[in-house]
Amino acid sequence: MPSLPFLLFSLLFLFPVSHSIPEYFENCRYIKFECGEISIGYPFSGGLRESECGHTGLELQCDGDTDTATATIEIHGVKYKVMDIQQKRQTLRIAREDFLKDSLCRPQTPIQDSIIDLELFDLAPGYSNVTLFYDCPSSSSSVPSSLACNGSDYHNVSIITVIDDFRVEGCSANVTFPISWGRFSFYDREDPDFLQFLREALETGFEVKWKEDTQACRSCTASGGACGFNINNQTSCFCPFGFQNWIESPNQCLRPVAESKSKLKQNLFIGLAVAVTIAIVLVSAVYFLVLRCKGKSLSDHLCQGKIKDNAGIESFIKKFGSPAPRRYSYREIKKMTNKFDNKLGQGGYGTVYKGKLSEGRLVAVKILDGSKGNGEDFMNEVASISRTSHVNIVTLLGFCFEKSKRALVYEFMSHGSLDRFIYDRDLHHQICRLELKTLYDITLDIARGLEYLHQGCNKRILHFDIKPHNILLDENFCPKISDFGLSKLCERKESAISMTCARGTIGYIAPEMVCRSFGGVSYKSDVYSYGMMVLEIVGGRKNVDVEVSQTSEVYFPSWIYKHLDRSMNRDLSGEIIDEEDIKRKLIIVGLWCIQSYPSDRPSMAEVLEMLQGDLQSLVIPPRPFASSPVRSPKTYTKTSS
């Protein structure tokens, strides 16, 4: 057996140094620069955000008191007031501070042009350069009439635009900066309205678009990491505890135990391979089993009445891993939600409010309805979600359990629920429909989250309420499965579980939940709900809409199947090359998932293979029927000849 020093020395070569410095991950992931009306995270730093969280050229400062604070940024020695930041458009509207405070006659000293850092910014369309010339000699007859500067270091200032054909020499100073073009060229320089327009344009500022490696950051956040920058000002990915970067995936956070043998072999030296690989696999397996399987089921203890307060829940949750959700008093819950003044949504088991922790992190707080049964939904959520740690499962940060008052504190998801982005019909809560490629990525990530819940250790977590409303999206549209109020823990070896009543939402409930002749209730019930949700994403409409009568409409899966029929004669290359191919792949997978008999549906692991595999290899599922279903062959993909 190799000695411990020998193994440690070998590990230095096996695994690259991780960028997952804990304080950088926490800071860059959750802390934003806050100043006045400006609130922004990546790619900026400043305030409470560490310098590693932002590009060195995008460091913000906050000037003034809380009520009158203004955000500023320095670019090439010029200080600008930050008027507005648009994260989605990647635009920054800024205005020169010296002109705002002291007018055109008192530029900062020494005079600096507003030269935009072309490596970091692009000037937005609609702007053009203007040059101010100070104290030009009177012999320069081509210079337009000057504006008098009283009580300044300069006597007069002349304004030259890019359309002016002037060559000015011998002036004391000059400064060039962008200005919104608008009606600028139509003004006579002698017109008093021209000066007013110029002042307004200076106060409005100009827009620049910052350059950012969006793909690298999206990849990082989708894997559970936090975006930042390294010393070379390149996007870096800081990972949480238990994850690390790999040479092959520098912008992703991966679990060491999840790495394939092929990747490990790439990092092994010949001669150390066998000993080190065995050691790593053994240690990782033990760690994984302890983390996932330690202790008796929390739900059993809750249901038996053995845990009756915050302290009891907290002490037991710690057995499932670290860090454990924090315990909050109801008084703290009221404070973080500002006495429940910002309602985010209403569910069947409670109301969700927006809140903020003392350190400034935004959270979502679910206040459970005490009149709903004996609190089984609360027990299910805490018992189930405390066992999870996955980028596509919402994180439980804390809880409150004081007599009849129960609350759950989750990470805040800025884009809300998926149902706001998938339906074509104008809904009162709809924002916009996402691009199909983005929706495809979302369905893929949801499948990963569900597969994680189902694969378990010695217990599976069955969700029983998969639907767009329970899929939350973060700032990068990375989806996370939420709302475990109807979930159930079951032994992995169990092929079916007993149910006293149907669980779920109309339109997403699997047939076996209401009619046992279709088969036993199992994790395949979640597969059915997932499939129906995928078909809704493709179809852009609800399967069953309680707000609109559906009696005259075609059975939803049959309606979806017609779209598949229309695309049957298209030439396929075996790859997803356009939106029609993406639609077809999602329809095929969705229709397989909603097969009437559970045994005919794929597992979530098989769903992932189908989504990530070639479209050409997928077998078309049998046509669905609203009643009296016909058994289908369990063949999802074509076998290669």
Share of the chain above pLDDT 90, in %: 24
Residues 302 and 380 in one domain: yes
Q: Is residue 84 one of the residues assigned to a domain? A: no
Residue 83 within a domain: no
Same domain, 461 and 606: yes
If asked whether residues 467 and 442 sit together in one domain, one would say: yes
* 606, 528: one domain: yes
3-state SS class at 92: strand
**What is the pLDDT, as a whole number, of residue 482?**
92
Whether the ω angle into residue 110 lies within 30 degrees of 0, i.e. cis, is yes
Q: Which tokens in the block code for residue 211?
A: 């350059």
- Residue 488 in any domain: the answer is yes
pLDDT band of residue 485 (cuts 50, 70, 90) is: confident
pTM for this model (two decimals): 0.53
Q: Are residues 431 and 400 in the same domain?
A: no
Distance of alpha carbon 246 from the chain centroid: 22
Task: Return d(Cα 185, Cα 567) in angstroms, integer.
Answer: 54
Helices (H) and strands (E) in the chain, counts: 16, 26
**Complete DSSP assignment for 360-416:** S-EEEEEEE-TTSTTSHHHHHHHHHHTT---TTBPPEEEEEEETTEEEEEEE--TT-
Report the distance separating Cα 19 and Cα 28, nearest Å.
Answer: 12
Highest mean pLDDT among 339-348, 432-441, 443-452, 456-465 belongs to: 443-452
Confirm whether 336 is domain-assigned. yes
In the 8-state DSSP scheme, what is residue 138? Answer: T
Please, how many CA atoms are within 13 Å of residue 72, restricted to the half-sphere of its CB? Answer: 16
Residue 60 near residue 35, CB atoms below 8 Å: yes
When pLDDT is averaged across residues 544-567 and rounded to a whole number, the result is: 59
Higher per-residue pLDDT: 250 or 527: 527
Token pair 């992995």 is at which residue? 492
Sign (positive/negative) of CA torsion 175, 181, 182, 188? positive
CATH number reported for the structural domain that contains residue 596 in this entry: 1.10.510.10
pLDDT of residue 573: 43
Confidence band for 179, pLDDT divided at 50, 70 and 90: confident
Q: Are 457 and 493 in contact (CB under 8 A)?
A: no
At residue 186, what is the residue type? F
Q: What is the pLDDT of residues 32-65, one digit of tens each?
A: 898 988 999 999 999 989 999 999 999 999 987 7
Among 183, 211, 239, give the residue marking a domain's end. 211
Same domain, 140 and 168: yes
Residue 157 covered by a domain: yes
Residue 501 has pLDDT above 60, yes or no: yes
For residue 511, say if its preceding peptide bond is cis, omega within 30 degrees of 0. Answer: no
Average pLDDT of the residues in 189-216: 78
Rounded to whole angstroms, how far apart are CA atoms 246 and 341? 44
pLDDT surpasses 90 at 445: yes
Q: Which of 56, 236, 39 is nearest to 48 (CA)?
A: 39
Active-site positions read 465
The arithmetic mean of pLDDT across residues 500-511, rounded, is 80
Q: Which of 363, 381, 411 is the last residue of a domain?
A: 411
- Pair (386, 325) in one structural domain: yes
- pLDDT tens per residue, range 584-635: 899 999 999 999 889 899 999 999 999 999 888 899 887 765 444 445 556 7
* Structure confidence at residue 639 (pLDDT): 60
Residue 417 has pLDDT above 80, yes or no: yes
Residue 22 domain-assigned (yes or no): no
Give pLDDT, residue 425.
56
User: Is residue 344 situated within a structural domain?
Assistant: yes
- Determine which helix (DSSP H) or strand (DSSP E) holds 80, and give its type and residue range: strand 78-86
Which residues on adjacent β-strands are paired with residue 70? Answer: 63
Q: Is residue 91 part of a domain?
A: no
Last residue of a domain, one of 391, 411, 431: 411
Mean pLDDT of 376-397: 82
Lowest mean per-residue pLDDT among 189-198, 242-251, 551-560: 551-560
Residue 541's pLDDT band (cuts 50, 70, 90):
confident
CB 590, CB 534: distance < 8 Å = yes
> Is residue 23 pLDDT above 90, yes or no?
no
**Antiparallel, parallel or unpaired: β 362-368 and 405-411:** antiparallel
pLDDT digits 0-9 by tens, 212-235: 777 888 888 888 889 999 888 888
- Contact between 415 and 479 under an 8 Å Cβ cutoff? The reply is no
Q: What is the CA radius of gyration of the chain?
A: 30
Over the chain, what is the mean pLDDT? Answer: 76
Which comes out higher in pLDDT, residue 47 or 459?
47
Cite the beta strand spans of 232-349 per DSSP E. Answer: 235-238, 244-246, 249-254, 326-327, 343-347
Q: C-alpha 261: how far from its chain's center?
A: 30
| Span of 175-184, 359-368, 529-538 with lowest mean pLDDT | 175-184
Domain CATH code at residue 394: 3.30.200.20
pLDDT(86) > 80? yes
Same domain for 363 and 475? no
Reported as a pLDDT band with limits 50, 70 and 90, residue 114 is confident
Instruction: Give the pLDDT band of residue 384 (cuts 50, 70, 90).
Output: confident
Helix H or strand E segment including 591:
helix 579-593
Domain count, the chain: 3
How far, CA to CA in Å, does 228 sit from each of 23, 216, 391?
A: 12, 10, 18
What is residue 262's predicted lDDT score, i.e. its pLDDT? 45
Secondary structure (H, E, C), 240-257 = CCCCEEECCEEEEEECHH
Taking residues 257-261, what's their average pLDDT?
A: 45
- Give the pLDDT of residue 540: 83
Confidence class for position 385, pLDDT limits 50, 70, 90: confident
pLDDT of residue 181: 65
Which range, 137-151, 219-233, 274-288, 546-560, is most confident?
A: 219-233
Token pair for residue 390? Answer: 């996955």
Q: Are residues 491 and 529 in the same domain?
A: yes
φ, ψ of residue 248 to 5 degrees: the values are -75, -25
pLDDT for residue 253: 87
Task: Give the model's pLDDT for residue 340.
Answer: 92
Contact (CB, 8 A) for 202 and 195: no
Identify whether residues 378 and 455 lie together within a single domain.
no
Which range of residues forms the domain containing residue 442? 418-617
Q: Are residues 310 and 443 in the same domain?
A: no
Q: List pLDDT tens digits, range 307-330.
A: 445 555 555 555 545 456 888 999
Is 157 within 8 Å of 105 (Cβ atoms)?
yes
Residue 288: strand, helix, or coil: helix
Asked whether residue 439 falls in the same domain as residue 529, the answer is yes
CA-based nearest residue to 296, from 161, 115, 73, 491:
491
**Inter-residue contact 477 to 442 (CB < 8 Å):** yes
**DSSP for residue 519:** -
pLDDT band for position 145 (50/70/90)?
low
pLDDT in tens, 268-302: 444 455 555 566 656 555 444 444 444 334 444 44
pLDDT for position 110:
77
pLDDT at 76 over 80: yes
End-to-end CA distance of the chain: 46
And the tokens for 94?
């800024």
- Between CA 497 and CA 519 the distance in angstroms is 11
How much is the average pLDDT of 103-132?
Answer: 80
